[in-house]
Amino acid sequence: MLQKQNLAIDDIRVPVKRAKTLDPDKVEALATDILEHGQITPIRVRKDGDKFVLIEGYHRLEAMRALGEEAISAYIVHARLH
């Protein structure tokens, strides 16, 4: 079972392919929702050395960053290499 943890936003790297999919309007809408209700759905990351790589939740991550937050709620997924 996945356990929710708070991670430093600066410790999460966004893959280049994913970074190209950013929709500023979606980030703004999510930031507004997070201000009203808090972060409800954690993002998903995988461990990469001492830091993390984003798997899911890019717009939530950027919304939290836009709000000036330093940490975000995340699930750490233990991905296997093939």
Q: At a CB cut-off of 8 Å and minimum separation 6, what does 2 contact? A: 75, 76, 77
pLDDT score recorded for residue 82: 55
pLDDT score recorded for residue 14: 94
Q: 15-59, pLDDT tens digit by residue?
A: 988 888 899 999 999 999 999 999 999 999 999 999 999 999 999
pLDDT score recorded for residue 20: 86
Which among 71, 77, 74 has a CA at the least distance from the CA of 46?
A: 77
| Protein fold of 4-77 | 3.90.1530
Q: Give mean pLDDT, residues 46-75.
A: 95
The CA-atom distances, in angstroms, between 39 and each of 11, 43, 47, 78 are: 18, 10, 21, 22
pLDDT score recorded for residue 16: 87
pLDDT score recorded for residue 80: 65
